[in-house]
A = this chain, B = another copy of it.
Amino acid sequence: MTLAERDAQTFLYESLADNLRGLIDDGTFACGHRLPSVRRLSRQERLSPATVLKAYETLEAAGLVEARPKSGYYVRRRSDDLPEPPSRSRPPAAATAVDVGELVVELVATASRPDLVPFGGALPGPELLPITRFKRITASVLRRADAYSELDIPPQGAAPLRTAVARRMLRTGCRVAPDDVVITAGCLEALNLALRAVARPGDAIGVESPTYFGTLQAIENLDMRAVELPTDPDRGVCPDALCEAARSGRIRAALLMPDVHNPLGGIMPEAHKRRIAATLGRLGVPVIEDDVYGETHFGEGARPRALKAFDEHDNVIYCSSFSKQISPTMRLGWMLPGRWARRVHVLKASSTIAANGLAQAATAAFLEQGGFDRHLRRQRRAFAANIDRALDGICRHFPATTRVTRPRGGYLLWVQVPGVDARALYHRALAEGISIAPGRLFTAHDGFRDFFRLNCGHPWSPRLEAGLARLGELAAGD
């Protein structure tokens, strides 16, 4: 290629890049949209594929688009457009009797209505779950002679599933044996068993503020109290505040979601994990770790190491589930009860006895057969793209004062529209066929009144886009 030729090509791809930049700026290619393939655009514009590729690489270097392996180039959201994230929470210091039960039952009832735009619940869309493959494996497990005739699933769970779980725990930085694992009827049962193992009625439990309402409900219904702690949306609970609460005896235990918090989406830095594990371990204030979203972290690298990986005092009970990755209707989770193992076995045997046998056998087979990591990678990319689309929609449709989190994983956004009564917004939106989860659910004190949680776990669609736009209008007081 001569110098002149090279200049000509530079001119061509720079012109093309400029044109595309204009189309992105005016929203013709909105955030999350895929650009035409290199081959198609080269045919359409009568340019060489190399020139089109160069143009795309220019846009990528400018942070306007991103390459997704084997999929193409996508328009990125621009961080300077984004509303501010909410500030660190400042909950009241006193323990509070939790009282959100009826509100939760109301939300759950609306979350299961297929006629609603599904921003309210916290389940991913079925399209992002490996349903067909899991059904096929379940059918093959059913054909095996021993399924359902193994009458005695021990309360601790079937051995093959405990082995598969122990193997997966290596990803979290934890080395455990199959006998350390207890299979449960979902993560929430694990959290209940853990709470009952480490605390008693009347005891105070330290939690993030805001936090998952299922946790708050479990604490309420075990006659315990929640002590909410200042929490940074991006970095999790404030370690100073947590350690002080443990030292002063204000809390009997802590229940935390260090990796991909619900509803905040933050990930606790390793230094905080190390400090919390060490300090609370020394003080003998047990930590219950809810890691149900840990596998949904964004980015192609390894997942963050769990808090449990830093636990040198056998003081952390780890809990997780397959609900977000395989199927929520299986109701299958697990926990590492550590030194509370005997107590947890007794509690499990006296509450639900054991988890569904077929689900245990099918999940063990699913994990053995491989491909789970590939599925997780695909799922994470889809969640990240959905979050981008939703953030873009919020930029365009919501009041300028709106604040919203920058989740580091998962598919949940925590949105604040200052001054708006989110409970009233919830009812107005519901009347128009849109469900959201009002912020009041995520706290034991009377806070987060102008917050709500948005579920972005369903594949983006014109219906979701329209729902989000209408929600923005309603939030603006229309």
Contacts and interface: CB of A to CB of B under 8 A. Distances in A.
Interface of A: 101-102, 104-105, 108-109, 111-112, 114, 121, 123, 126, 131, 134-135, 138-139, 142-143, 147-155, 185-186, 188-189, 192, 196, 200-201, 214, 217-218, 220-221, 223, 327-331, 342, 345-347, 349-359
A151 B455 CA distance: 14
Given A139-B142, A353-B331, A345 B105 contact: yes
Given A138-B358, A217-B350, A150 B329 contact: yes
A358 B330 contact: yes
Given A218-B350, A345-B105, A152 B358 contact: no
B345 A357 contact: no
A342 B342 CA distance: 33
Given A139-B142, A201-B201, A221-B350, A148 B123 contact: no
Contact of A356 (B147, B154, B200, B331): B331
Nearest to A357: B329
A211 to B, nearest CB: 14
A105 B342 CA distance: 9
A353 B188 contact: yes
B152 A123 contact: yes
Nearest to A134: B148
B135 A346 contact: no
Contact of A352 (B134, B153, B331): B331
A104 B348 CA distance: 11
Given A352-B185, A358-B358, A358-B359, A112 B221 contact: no
A145 to B, nearest CB: 10
Given A186-B353, A351-B188, A329 B358 contact: yes
Contacts of A217: 346, 349-350
A329 B107 CA distance: 31
22 contacts: A105-B346, A108-B349, A112-B154, A126-B149, A126-B151, A138-B142, A138-B358, A139-B143, A151-B329, A153-B329, A188-B351, A189-B352, A217-B346, A221-B346, A221-B351, A329-B354, A329-B358, A331-B354, A351-B351, A356-B358, A358-B359, A359-B359
Contacts of A186: 352-353
Contacts of A109: 154
Given A185-B331, A214-B349, 20 more contacts: A105-B342, A105-B345, A108-B155, A109-B154, A114-B152, A126-B148, A135-B142, A135-B147, A139-B139, A139-B143, A188-B352, A188-B353, A201-B223, A221-B350, A221-B351, A327-B357, A330-B356, A331-B352, A351-B351, A356-B359
A124 to B, nearest CB: 8
Given A111-B152, A131-B148, A148-B135, A102 B342 contact: yes
Given A342-B102, A347-B221, A357-B329, A185 B188 contact: no
A349 B328 CA distance: 14
A318 to B, nearest CB: 19
Contacts of A350: 101, 104, 188, 192, 214, 217-218, 220-221
A440 to B, nearest CB: 16
A24 B65 CA distance: 90
Nearest to A220: B350
A346 B104 contact: yes
Contacts of A150: 329
A121 B104 CA distance: 39
A201 B353 CA distance: 21
A265 B61 CA distance: 77
Contact of A152 (B112, B149, B352, B354): B112
A319 to B, nearest CB: 13
Contacts of A126: 148-149, 151
Nearest to A346: B101
A200 B223 contact: yes
A395 to B, nearest CB: 29
Contacts of A352: 185-186, 188-189, 331, 352
